[in-house]
Amino acid sequence: MVYKTLTIAGSDSGGGAGIQADLKTFQELGVYGMSVITAVTAQNTLGVQGVYPMPVESVEEQINSIAADLSPHALKTGMLFSAEIIKKVGELVEANSWIHLVVDPVMVAKGGSRLLQEEAVEAMKEHLISRAYVMTPNIPEAEVLTGQDIRSEEDRKAAAKELYKMGAMNVVIKGGHSEDESYAVDLLFDGQEFHEFKSPRINTDHTHGTGCTFAAAITAELAKGHSVKDAIQTAKQFITAAIYNELKIGSGKGPTNHWAYKQLGVEVK
Active-site positions read: 174, 207, 209-212
Cβ atoms within 10 Å of 97's Cβ, excluding its own: 8
The two most distant CA atoms of the chain are separated, in Å, by 48
d(CA 167, CA 266): 34
Among residues 105, 93, 178, 166, the alpha carbon closest in space to that of 135 is found at: 105
Among residues 22, 67, 6, 10, the alpha carbon closest in space to that of 211 is found at: 22
Q: What is the secondary structure of 205-228 as a DSSP string? A: S--BTHHHHHHHHHHHHHHTT--H
The answer to whether 206 and 169 have CB atoms below 8 angstroms apart is no
